[in-house]
Structure 1
Amino acid sequence: MTNLFLPILIVALSCGFVICTNVLPCTNVDAPVPEVQVQNCDDMPCVFYINSKTSMTMKFRAPRYLEHFAPNALASVMGVNVTYPLGQDDGCVGVTNTPCPLAENEYIEYTYGMLILPIFPEVSLTMEFSLIDKDLNNTAFECFKVDLQIKKA
């Protein structure tokens, strides 16, 4: 009977007893998928409403000493990949639980918030969100993909 409850316990502990969002791994990053919480989204596709705010939080362990890193977003819409400007050049701004620089294997909580601008069209897309190491040729060290639907409120 104990073996039946072990997987449930592991999931509950890894998400800290909160709802994690089911996300996809990135193919170009050799790291486990971070624990991700997208505001008001448990499962894909996540629905974002035009002219509203949303946020996401990633929880992970720093793979190495990190001093200069930044978020990066790549939107894939109808087979076209477009880099989405996030307006944040310093990833330390989003770290909520510890000061930068980050030590190797340090537990990190990173949050990014954004406004879904009124100029956004109603569309379905896949967003690849990563954190890149600016000291290592902008190499991604954490990454996930999430399917999104942008809709009018």
Structure 2
Amino acid sequence: MKVLASLALLTLVNYAYSADTTAVKACHDALLPEVKVTIDNTVCAEGPCVVGTGSELSVLVSFDTPVKLEHIKAKFVASGPDADVEIPLIDACKGIVNTECPVAANEHVDYEYSQVIANEYPEVDATVTVSLLDEDNDDAEVICFSLDVTIKNS
């Protein structure tokens, strides 16, 4: 019952963010950040976010880190009908736009990742799960969320 109440609270907090954010789903017990997904500079308010090939997909994640972060990496996994595809792990310190690593506990972090969707991508509906992992703490998840995405050929 406590888990259900916690998930309900996290969902309500997520919807309380401004209209300039994207509604995302929480992953288990990890921190649910404020997320803004844009496609060619247009905010996707909720999934599925439709992305055309050749479009720029940008994800801005804002959160207050619960612990000191010195070495962090981003993990992106797209789960589709036929397979899961993992984007190679990325040094998340390079994506922090408002401060630098190491990040002190309780410090605010804005992390951004952008990618142009290659024309070779097939049309597909997928759930993308994004995690930031603390490499100094056995890759413990600092934040985690998922979002439904539809890729369309442009």
> The TM-score by the shorter chain falls in which range?
0.7 to 0.9
User: Which structure 2 segments of 5+ residues have no match?
Assistant: 1-11
Q: 2:63 aligns with which of 36, 60, 63?
A: 60
Q: Does 35-44 or 135-144 show the bigger shift?
A: 135-144
- Provide the residue aligned with 2:142 in structure 1: 141
What is the aligned partner in structure 1 of residue 153 from structure 2?
152
Map of 1:107-126 to 2, 5 A cutoff? 107-126=108-127
Cα RMSD over matched residues?
A: 1.8
Residue identity (%): 37
**1:85 matched residue in structure 2:** 88
Q: Match for residue 34 of structure 2? A: 35
Whole-angstrom CA distance in 2 between matches of 1:133 and 1:124? 29
| Per-residue deviation, 1:79 | 6.0
* SS state at 2:115 partner: strand
Which string of whole-angstrom CA distances, capped at 9 and with x for unpartnered residues, describes residues 42-81 of structure 1? 1110011101211010110111010100110111111633
Instruction: Give the aligned length.
Output: 137
SS of equivalent to 2:31: coil
In the alignment, structure 1 segments of 5+ residues that lack a partner are 1-6
Q: Which 4+ stretches in 1 moved above 3 angstroms?
A: none
Map of 2:24 onto structure 1 = 23
1:142 CA drift (Å): 0.4
Corresponding residue of 2:9: none
Q: Residues of 2 paired with 1:37 and 1:20: CA distance?
A: 4
Secondary structure of 2:136's counterpart equals: coil
Aligned pairs for 1:39-50 within 5 A: 39=38, 40-50=43-53
1:43 and 1:103 map into 2 onto residues whose CA distance is: 31
* Structure 1 partner of 2:101: 100
Tell me which amino acid in the other structure corresponds to 1:37: K
1:74 matched to which residue of 2? 77
Higher strand share: 2
TM-score by length of 1: 0.82
For 1:3, the equivalent position in structure 2 comes to none
User: Letter of the aligned partner of 1:75 in structure 2?
Assistant: A
